[in-house]
Structure 1
Amino acid sequence: MRIVTARVNHETNTFSPLATPLAAFNPLWGAEALAAGRGSTTALGTFIRFAEGRGASLVVPVSAHANPSGPVADAAFEALSAAILDAIRPGCDAILLDLHGAMVTESHDDGEGELLARIRALAPGVPLGVALDLHGNITARMVANCDALAGFKTYPHVDMAETGSLVAGIVGRMLDEGLVPCRAFVHPPMLAHTLCMDTRVPGPMREAVAAARAAEGRSGVLAATIFGGFSLADLSEAGVSVTVTAETQEAADRAAQDLAARLWAARWDFVYDEAPLAASIAAARAALAGPGAGPVLLLDHGDNCMSGGTCDVMDVLAAALDAGMDGILAGPICDPQAVAALYAAGASARVALDLGNRVPLPGFPAQDPLRVSGTVAALSDGQYVITGPTYTGQRCSMGRAAVLDTGAARILVSEQPHEPWDLSVFTSLGLDPAAVRVLILKSRMYCRPVFEPIARAVVECASRGVTSSDYGLFPFEKLARPVFPLDAGVAWTPG
């Protein structure tokens, strides 16, 4: 038996100015892809275990993951697709793919749909299973061109391996029992806010996921997924959706319609009311004056790495400094020019420089960099290993990194936009995030499992960046309208 499996992940923010060439994916090919995937807590890692457990001849043509950014360059998409297609072309017995579901390329609004259509044309009868991100913008084309698909049920995502196991189990039944899965797809006209999708706490997404799990407990239902979607993408089918894979079409359709009706009924619960930044700073000051230990955690969700932010918008740090806060630790702020200046000055040197607000944001007013001065407190290659629950054990790089100590704030500056996945983002440069008064992170959700436990309070802060929760800032042109909540009086009935 010959099984082909691969990983290609990208969540595309079509409003982001950040380019996405092939290098952004840090692709690994062939043997290196297999080595990186084996044992990892990803769907790819599960697919490898599945294939090896069956004694199959295993081919892993590519493993590639890029941080969210603008549309993927055509050359990158073609190179990644060609690697997978070339592995399938000689023939195989099963195909298992670890994809995202929200990839937009320069030429294809539905990157995954295009890739799956090419695969299906090349291998029309081969069992094809796909694991996807909870934030996938799922399309009818994706669903039509695979046999089984399922998405994560946690956000922050800590069930990537389990999702792979669910998909692999369905494909295993296809191989062993001749199962022919049926699929259903429902796409209500609805955009959900990412900050309403936290599955760790009571709320609409946790309730929706519980309903999906209950659906999987019904006879004949193999996989049911609530996709929150990724709304910062200007394409027709952006937004929430439901997919069900089942033994019969009737079971798939019934479960999908039921789950979609539940989503639509709860649509107002998926709307996030963004507070003005001044109000968030006032809330942070009140928290500092109150009881408790640990830092007050300020989350700059308008400019976060894992939604395609430039990570150089200075609104939140500037507001905290203007409010007279001290004991601040902030970062990573992406500013290669500032990193170069700090490296040139050297450790312990006194410097004054401009920081951030360098990358033009289409449709947003230009802002001057923040002028800061202080001492170069640390320099690093920016590499560390994640010890937290997401991507555990993965080696990460921020590019070169430096710390500027201004007295009121220590600012971690990096060459690359980087999500604060782990305490090691800071401890690798000799910084203790638990020991500061104010911790400013450019993050929406992924930092929370690691940083919330050390914080006395969490305050979400709005900055005017390309990952803002204010959808009114974005000029949607391709998005199918009317859509809730952008348009008033949207009516929709499942089925």
Structure 2
Amino acid sequence: MARRKIVVAMMMHETNTFSPVPTAIESFGRMGAMSGPAAIAELIGTNTQVGGFIGVAQAAGAEFTLPMAASAHPSGPVQKAAYEEMCDAIVGEIRKGCDAAFLALHGAMVAEHVDDGEGELLRRVRAIAPDLPIAVGLDFHAQMTAAMIDNATVVTGYRTYPHIDMGHTAERAGRTLIRALDGEVAPRMVWGFRPMLTSTLSHTPSRQPMKDIMDRANAAEDSGQVLNASVFGGFPQADIPHLSCSAVIVCDQRTAEGEILLNRLLDMAWERREAFLYTGEALSAQVARAKTLDGGPIILADHGDNTASGGTQDVMSVVEEAMRQGLEDVAAGPIWDPGCVAQMIASGIGATVTLELGGKVDMPQLNLKGRPLRVTGTVKCITDGEFVVTGPMATGTRVRMGRTAVLDTGKMLIVVSEKRSEPFDLGVFTHCGIDPRRKKYVLIKSRQHFRAGFEPIAKHIVMCDGDGVTSSDLKLFDYKNRRQPLYPFEPDLQLGRNEA
């Protein structure tokens, strides 16, 4: 009997439609856009969706190909040419013939010409392979659409945020599909949504109000009540018609029990809709509170400008406030500023330099102008910006920050990099000789992913409402294409009969 052939592919991007950062095909160079043996070598055995899918294919004794492995940091809409190049590679490989497809997607990709990037890819695949079994893994921040469900066989989503179960999510989807290929199960999916936004600072499944919603979904899947159950918090920094909180249940033939579970999960979320919103305070008050805390490290999380939600990573408001209030023994960064990196490298280690740091990018969607911060210090270290992740998120992958330099101002060590990189692993500091465990303050640009690597070492965590296109203040964003009505924009929204 011939071995099964499985096409494994990754096309991942979380699109912040308010971000000024362009998303060309070159943006997908962090782990791709790669293909073939190079992509397999990079991702096999890693805690990523592709790593998980490869493991399932190998365990099933299947042959597999990897025609596209593309993942980019969140940023603005994907350029049309980039989207078409990635789709063509995946669809082209499937057109050659295969027994199944394992697709590592995100669920929140918006291209210049398509507002449902994943649904359109799946539609194209289904058009050339009407009966092909397709397993899809999605991010917890997916914006679910009918096109995704109608054109896939199995869909699963991350159960965690920070996303420490990327590999496991792919394994859940892949194993269900293998069971279907073996005739053990007949997957049928039901899905739904509630017209509500949830803040990324308030919807992590490790804490309420999301915790017991996700726990109930997990228990249903782990007990075998359903084949798979996934809840999606959505991604609010996207001006698209399918913004919502949603869920997907994969049932074995009969869907009645899955539909009951689906509505219980979504009703729980709707009843708690107010608790899913974030309420902030003045940045000056947050930094002042950090100064009163004992011990360390004290994590200052600048969630208004984080790369993993589409931030420019060069807004200096939190760094400036920390300096203004006289914080000492601080490790900060990474700050994205290729020009300042070049200036420090040209000056050399030990040189004293004055930099116009950060603030190079305007954010017209929020009417924010880039504003550099003048800083003077000594060039402490210069590196290639590469390290292997040892923490629980994306374990085993290689981070490439580009050339990186450290500026020592006396009170603050500032890591500056050529490329944007979310600080979810201690390696952003340790690879350039800084031990964040020994610092009083660690100032990083992150919303929740920092918790994977930094929460275990933190004595205290202070969320900082810095400026930027990943702000949690929804009033700053001008939504023109959103679903209407949508909570909290229509605060008195009542569900219709079908939704309730």
Same fold flag (TM > 0.5): yes
Q: How many residues align?
A: 490
Which residue of 222, 228, 251 maps to 2:233?
Answer: 228
In the other structure, the counterpart of 2:339 is: 337
In the other structure, the counterpart of 2:139 is: 133
In the other structure, the counterpart of 2:351 is: 349
Relative to structure 1, the CA distance from residue 51 to residue 453 in structure 2 (aligned partners, 3 Å threshold; closer, same or farther) is closer
- Report if aligned partners of 2:315, 2:371 keep a CA contact under 8 Å in 1: no
Which residue of 315, 318, 337 maps to 2:317?
Answer: 315
- Report if aligned partners of 2:166, 2:394 keep a CA contact under 8 Å in 1: no
Relative to structure 1, the CA distance from residue 37 to residue 428 in structure 2 (aligned partners, 3 Å threshold; closer, same or farther) is closer
Mapping for residues 269-418 of structure 1, pairs under 5 Å: 269-287=275-293, 290=294, 292=295, 294-362=296-364, 363-418=366-421
Mapping for residues 150-229 of structure 1, pairs under 5 Å: 150-177=156-183, 179-200=185-206, 202-216=207-221, 221-229=226-234
Deviation sequence 1:95-148 (CA, Å, 0-9, x none): 111111000001000000000000011111011110100011111111111011
Q: 1:345 Cα shift?
A: 1.0
- Report if aligned partners of 1:298, 1:438 keep a CA contact under 8 Å in 2: yes
Q: 1:348 Cα shift?
A: 0.6
Deviation sequence 1:205-244 (CA, Å, 0-9, x none): 2111111123325765211111000110000001311111
- Report if aligned partners of 1:364, 1:464 keep a CA contact under 8 Å in 2: no
d(CA) in 2 for partners of 1:365, 1:310 = 12
Deviation sequence 1:235-258 (CA, Å, 0-9, x none): 000131111110223233222122
SS at match of 2:313: coil
In the other structure, the counterpart of 1:59 is: 65
In the other structure, the counterpart of 1:90 is: 96
- Report if aligned partners of 1:137, 1:229 keep a CA contact under 8 Å in 2: yes
- Report if aligned partners of 2:301, 2:447 keep a CA contact under 8 Å in 1: yes
| Structure 1, 37-46 or 401-410: larger mean CA deviation | 37-46
Gaps of 5+ in 2: none
In the other structure, the counterpart of 2:468 is: 465
d(CA) in 2 for partners of 1:255, 1:394 = 36
Letter in 2 for 1:2: K
Which residue of 23, 47, 54 maps to 2:53?
Answer: 47
d(CA) in 2 for partners of 1:218, 1:257 = 19
Q: 1:193 Cα shift?
A: 0.3
In the other structure, the counterpart of 2:20 is: 17
d(CA) in 1 for partners of 2:58, 2:438 = 46
Which residue of 250, 264, 272 maps to 2:270?
Answer: 264
- Report if aligned partners of 1:386, 1:421 keep a CA contact under 8 Å in 2: no
Letter in 2 for 1:204: P
Q: 1:66 Cα shift?
A: 0.5
| Structure 1, 124-133 or 452-461: larger mean CA deviation | 452-461
- Report if aligned partners of 1:299, 1:443 keep a CA contact under 8 Å in 2: yes
Say if 2:243 is the partner of 1:238.
yes
Q: 1:453 Cα shift?
A: 2.3
| Structure 1, 132-141 or 38-47: larger mean CA deviation | 38-47
d(CA) in 1 for partners of 2:186, 2:315 = 50
- Report if aligned partners of 2:158, 2:169 keep a CA contact under 8 Å in 1: yes
d(CA) in 1 for partners of 2:438, 2:176 = 48
Which residue of 11, 22, 36 maps to 2:42?
Answer: 36
In the other structure, the counterpart of 1:475 is: 478
SS at match of 2:182: helix
SS at match of 1:61: strand
Letter in 1 for 2:362: P
In the other structure, the counterpart of 2:491 is: 488
In the other structure, the counterpart of 2:80 is: 74
RMSD, matched Cα: 1.4
Flag as ranges the 4+ runs of structure 1 deviating above 4 A.
Answer: 217-220
- Report if aligned partners of 2:42, 2:397 keep a CA contact under 8 Å in 1: no
Q: 1:456 Cα shift?
A: 1.9
d(CA) in 1 for partners of 2:11, 2:241 = 22
Say if 2:116 is the partner of 1:110.
yes
Relative to structure 1, the CA distance from residue 50 to residue 313 in structure 2 (aligned partners, 3 Å threshold; closer, same or farther) is same
Say if 2:435 is the partner of 1:432.
yes
d(CA) in 1 for partners of 2:368, 2:160 = 36
| Structure 1, 272-281 or 37-46: larger mean CA deviation | 37-46
d(CA) in 1 for partners of 2:28, 2:154 = 26
Q: 1:57 Cα shift?
A: 2.3
Q: 1:282 Cα shift?
A: 1.5
Letter in 2 for 1:365: L
Letter in 1 for 2:159: K
SS at match of 2:487: coil
d(CA) in 2 for partners of 1:285, 1:178 = 59
Deviation sequence 1:353-402 (CA, Å, 0-9, x none): 21111101113232531111111111111111111011111111111111
Q: 1:37 Cα shift?
A: 2.7
| Structure 1, 145-154 or 219-228: larger mean CA deviation | 219-228
Gaps of 5+ in 1: none
Letter in 1 for 2:212: E
d(CA) in 2 for partners of 1:487, 1:218 = 38
- Report if aligned partners of 1:229, 1:239 keep a CA contact under 8 Å in 2: yes
Alignment TM-score, normalising by the size of structure 1:
0.96
